[in-house]
A and B are shown apart, each in its own frame.
Chain A
Amino acid sequence: SQTIHQWPATLVQPVGSPLSLECTVEGTSNPNLYWYRQAAGRGLQLLFYSVGIGQISSEVPQNLSASRPQDRQFILSSKKLLLSDSGFYLCAWSGSGANVLTFGAGSRLTVL
């Protein structure tokens, strides 16, 4: 069966420090991968999605970037965190051509 792992679960970082959140999927190949940010009372905002290795599409301009170095690995990064980067970040995957998402457990980032 397919599983998705996301880490770290919680992270507290100072302003200006770098960020790396990692997501891996097991049990499938060539998944579509997604990073979402969730703000209280505002649903989910799609940040990045990827349909293959090295293929990243950004949905909103921001202080973050994403990379996909391997087929089932998706990384969310920042060189210098801002206070506004605080939030709950969710990684998800779907089959190619499918519209059902499977989510990771999420990573809560607090920038101080």
Chain B
Amino acid sequence: AQSVTQLDSHVSVSEGTPVLLRCNYSSSYSPSLFWYVQHPNKGLQLLLKYTSAATLVKGINGFEAEFKKSETSFHLTKPSAHMSDAAEYFCVVSSFSGSARQLTFGSGTQLTVLP
């Protein structure tokens, strides 16, 4: 069984300050982990993925995430928020590398960026 918990449903930051979106996961096997971003009324876009290579994963738009097995966490960070980062972010876990059918989505974190 697998599950994912996004610890904050809403996060608000000022432009130019760091972003931290928290995600904890549970998995019976070595997981694959993803972060997706969704802008209003749009589809989801892949930000980054972890698949058992380097534990620090760099993604698009300056985002990165660190896989910490001991803490079962995969938090998403960005050093300096931009107004265009305002969106909803989804943490996703998969215990089976061969099938997108097995993906489990978190409930999402809405990021607001204040001017």
Contacts and interface: CB of A to CB of B under 8 A. Distances in A.
A11 interface: no
Contacts of A61: none
B105 A44 contact: yes
A90 B43 contact: yes
Q: Place the interface of chain A in its size category.
A: 20 to 34
Contact of B49 (A44, A57, A100): A100
A100 B108 contact: no
Contact of B103 (A6, A88, A99, A108): A99
Interface of B: 9, 32, 34, 36, 41-46, 49, 90, 94, 96-103, 105-108
B46 A99 contact: no
B98 A103 contact: no
B43 A99 contact: no
What 5 A-B pairs are tightest by C-beta distance, nearest first? A103-B43, A43-B105, A94-B100, A44-B105, A103-B44
Most buried by B among A44, A99, A108: A99
